Each structure stands twice: as C-alpha cells, then as structure tokens.
Structure 1
Amino acid sequence: MPTSSASTSDAAKTANSGGVQSLERAFDLLERMADAGGEVGLSELSASSGLPLPTIHRLMRTLVTCGYVRQQPNRRYALGPRLIRLGESAARLLGTWARPHLARLVEETGETANMALLDGDEIVYVAQVPSKHSMRMFTEVGRRVLPHSTGVGKALLAGSAPDEVRALLARTGMPAATEKTITTPDVFLAALEQVRRQGYAVDDNEQEIGVRCLAVPVPDSPTTAAISISGPAGRVTETAIRRIVPVLQEVARELSQALRSTGPAASG
C-alpha cells in the first residue's frame, strides 16, 4: 500500500525528534477533536490529518479503551471524561507558572492581575495576584464567567472568526451583568474589531460597576490564554491605561515564551 505524504512527513518528524509516532498521532487527533468542538467522525479526522482510516480507527479504539475518547450512539467520537482531570491539573500548573509574571504586573501597575483561559464557551480564571491597595478587585481562581462581559473574554475571542463568535454567543446568551454590559452580537463583534485594532481589550464597568479591566491575549500560548489587570475605574483612568497597556503586552510576551519553553524553571 502506498504511504501518504502526511504519513511520510509524520515518520520523518518522529525519527528526527526521537519520539513515538503512535503517541504523536494520538495527541494530534485529540487536538483536532478539540479544534472541531469535541466531537468528530472518523472520515473528518482522516481528511484533516491525512492519516488512513484504519490507522485512525486503531488509535481511536485505544483512546476509547483508556477513557480519553468515547464513542457516541451516532458512531461519532467525543472527547472523554478522563481528560477533565488532566485539564484541571494542567490549568492549576499553568496558574503556578504564571504567578511570577502576574506579580510583576502588580508591582508595575499597582492593580490586581489575573490570568484566564477559554474553556469551552466560558472564561475560567486560573491565577491571580492581588493588588496591595486596600481598595482592590478580587476574582476567585476557578471562577467561570461568560466572555461577552469581560475584558479577558474580548481578548480571547478577538482572534476568532465572526461566525464562531456568533455561534458561541447564541449558545451562551448575552445576559447583562450591569447596565454597561454589551448584550447584542453586532456590538460585541464591533468591540472585538476595536480590540484587534488597538491591541488590548477593555471591560468598562461591564462585569461590575465601578471596575475597569484591561486585558491582552498571551501570544502563541499552548492554550488560548489572556492576562489582565483590574481596579477601580477612578484609578484605571485614560492616563493610567496608556501607561499600563505596554506593561501588559510585554508581560504577555514573556509569559508566552515561558509557557512554550521546556520545563517550569523557565517561568521564573
């Protein structure tokens, strides 16, 4: 049987890296499933990966046996429950690695610093370092919110296609957390365009009255992540924003480099 170009390329990469080809392929399939929304058919995986159906079927059967994938009644495959424990542990570790960078943000801006991930259709906060001010903002680590009312949500969705954003908003709805919350898809998409244009996102009293938040995505992060600072609107003024945003962007770049490097020591 002729070997596909994708398979040949995979074999060459594995040989060069000293890795195990079946493991690399299995993790690649899991990531492709996540990119597709968590549920796919074998033919879709074959088309996107370039792997032959028998190979994919064998890998998926192993993943099902291990609990990392499950087969639905409609014969399609979905991400399995055992991944949840791995994801939660990884998120906690990610937060640990981020803390020194968030501490620098607090030192240089004076405001509470947060890190958040996009988990499904929700924003989850995975790390925080509080401000030293007596009046400061607290967001509990582990808290989940909808993206449309937060600065980190805007930062995380700014790189998504408009159709994907509309589909997410249709699933979650756009309830108003305050009178300032954006509650229509068109206005939210316009806000995302502004984020792309200016390079940062603002939550201006949209999640909580009296609180202003500035957020930027972590570029090239292994998982979709954003960092932010939040504080009283009276302190996070237009003048403060011009000072804080470059610091946010610099810390995001440094955090990205730390997350992409090998081992936790690089985050120090």
Structure 2
Amino acid sequence: MAYSSTTEMTPEGDKARAGIQSVEVGFALLDVLAQALGPLMLRDLASAAGMSAAKAHRYLVSFQRLNLVVQDATARYELGPATLRLGLATLSRMDAVKLARQRLPALMDQTGHTLALAVWGNRGPTLVHWQESPSAMPVSLRLGDVMPLLSSATGRCFAAFIGRDNSVDKAQPMIEAELALARKLGRSDLPTTPAQVQQVLTETRAQGLGRVVNVLLPGISGFCAPVFDADGHLALGVVSLGSSAIFDADWTGEVAQALRGFAHQLSRDLGWSPA
C-alpha cells in the first residue's frame, strides 16, 4: 500500500511536520467505533466514516492484526483489546487518578476492603484502577469494565454528580435503557420508574456516596465517593467494596466515613472548594 503524506499549517502559516494521510483516514473508523453504542456492520461503519466498504475493509484487516478492532460472532466490528490498553493508559495518567492511586494504600489500611478508581469514559463510568484487599472475596469485575448507572455504587455516584458537566446528556439514555431492562426483568431491587431513580439520586447526593447492597453482585456491598476538580466537575469516583457479611454498609459507618474523608481531601487538593 502506498502512503501519502499530509502537511499541516499552523495559524501563523508555518509549515508543520508531515504526516501519514492513510493513518489519519483510517482513524476515522476507530473514531466511529468509539462513539457507537455497540458493534457495527461493515457497511454502516464505512458509511459513518465517509468511505466505501471496500476501502474501510482494507483498513479493518490491518486494525484486526493489531488488535485495535475485532469482529463478533455476527461479523460486526468492535474496538479491540489494544484500544482498551491505550485508553486505560491515558486515563490512568490523568493527574487526579495519579494522586488518588498514591493515596489508596493508606485508605486500604484504614478500611481493609478492596478499592477501585473509576472515571467517566465514552460509554459510562469505567474502572481504571483496582487494588484488591488480601482478604477480599473474589469478584468478577476487572479493569476497563463499564459500570451500570442504577445497579452499581459507582454508577449511582456518577449518575448523581455528573450533572455538574456536559456528560449528563450521555447519562440519560443509559438510565432509560437500564430502567427498561429492570422493568423487563421484574427487578424489585432496582428503580423501575423515573421517580424512583430520582429518589435514589437524591439520597446519593444527600449522603455524598453511591451505595448498593447485594444488587450488582450477590453477597457484595459497596460505596463510591465523588472526587471533584477545581472547576467543580466530577473527576473520578473512589470505590470500596467487599463481602456483605463483613462490609459495613451503614451510611454513618467507618467505611463510609473514611471514603467521604478521602474523597473530600483529594477534591480540595485538586483545587475544589465546596459551595
């Protein structure tokens, strides 16, 4: 394949470094997949990227070899594990995440439970760091997992506090989809109406924590505390979870108090000032 170069111009008109045009064209496919709600057929992916199916297919073959793209059982294309690694590496290098990671060992000594950090990704609250307690009960969560907004402590925290920035528009469709699924499954432990969602979010804001007990994972309870940046935007969520048999899930318990204190101090160190 022949590669052509492109030359960018700065606002001042100076000549910038040449680039590889085919890389820039191919990135359009990855960008479409990143914004899609799920896997896409070749024709839909190509159309959204503004290229022919034949041209898109050539790029996708190379992307598959690099694990940037994978195909599911129905031949639809989805982002691959290599993009996840790149995304997690970028997210984990954010200053707020770095600062939180440095302080987690002290918080684990204080609580004795598994801790995690989550940030808002393109599909919702995403786990970007995991620090498991030596005495932790095994759970099926892993780095890169996107947490549901209504059935996880992390999701409830983000749904309650993400309204401080423009991501709230992205959260609403997720909430509506989860409501529909909860009604379909007849879940009695989840909100099934918009009014019930508001009750949960109001309680979360009032307590300063997202909380679930035996909801997302049987036998597991957890909290998630919001951390804000200097502009008052939700920077990340700090999660603590453990076996419901030993995890103190009381709003005024030691775990809740420790998590609130940790998140509050981290927020202040990031420049946040409470109203």
TM-score bucket of the superposed structures, by smaller chain: 0.5 to 0.7
Deviations 1:217-266 (A, max 9, x none): 012277631001001111123558521222112221343355569xxxxx
Q: Summarize the alignment of residues 1-268 of structure 1 with structure 2, pairs less than 5 Å apart.
A: 87-94=87-94, 95-133=97-135, 135=137, 137=139, 139-161=141-163, 164=169, 165-170=171-176, 175-176=181-182, 180-220=189-229, 224-238=235-249, 242-257=253-268
TM-score scaled by structure 2? Answer: 0.56
Compute the displacement of 1:172 (Å): 5.7
Question: Is 154-163 or 106-115 further displaced after alignment?
Answer: 154-163
Instruction: Assess if the C-alpha contact under 8 Å between 2:119 and 2:126 holds in 1.
Output: yes
Aligned mates of 2:85, 2:249 — CA distance in 1: 42
Q: Which runs of 5+ in 2 are unaligned?
A: 1-9, 12-20, 33-46, 49-78
Q: 1:136 to 1:241 in 2, by over 3 A?
A: farther
How high is the sequence identity, in percent, across the aligned residues? 19
2:247 match: secondary structure:
coil
Aligned mates of 2:269, 2:138 — CA distance in 1: 28
Aligned mates of 2:172, 2:251 — CA distance in 1: 32
Compute the displacement of 1:157 (Å): 1.6
Instruction: Assess if the C-alpha contact under 8 Å between 1:155 and 1:217 holds in 2.
Output: yes
2:267 match: secondary structure:
helix
The count of residues paired between Structure 1 and Structure 2 equals: 197
1:155 match: secondary structure:
helix
Q: Which runs of 5+ in 1 are unaligned?
A: 1-22, 24-54, 56-64, 74-80, 262-268
Compute the displacement of 1:185 (Å): 3.3
Aligned mates of 2:248, 2:142 — CA distance in 1: 24
TM-score scaled by structure 1? Answer: 0.57
Instruction: Assess if the C-alpha contact under 8 Å between 1:122 and 1:144 holds in 2.
Output: yes
Name the amino acid aligned to 1:91. Answer: L
Aligned mates of 1:174, 1:230 — CA distance in 2: 27
Compute the displacement of 1:87 (Å): 4.9
Aligned mates of 2:180, 2:112 — CA distance in 1: 31
Aligned mates of 2:180, 2:117 — CA distance in 1: 22
Aligned mates of 1:187, 1:131 — CA distance in 2: 34
* RMSD (CA atoms): 4.1
1:216 match: secondary structure:
strand
Aligned mates of 1:97, 1:88 — CA distance in 2: 16
Name the amino acid aligned to 2:212. Answer: D
Aligned mates of 2:133, 2:204 — CA distance in 1: 25
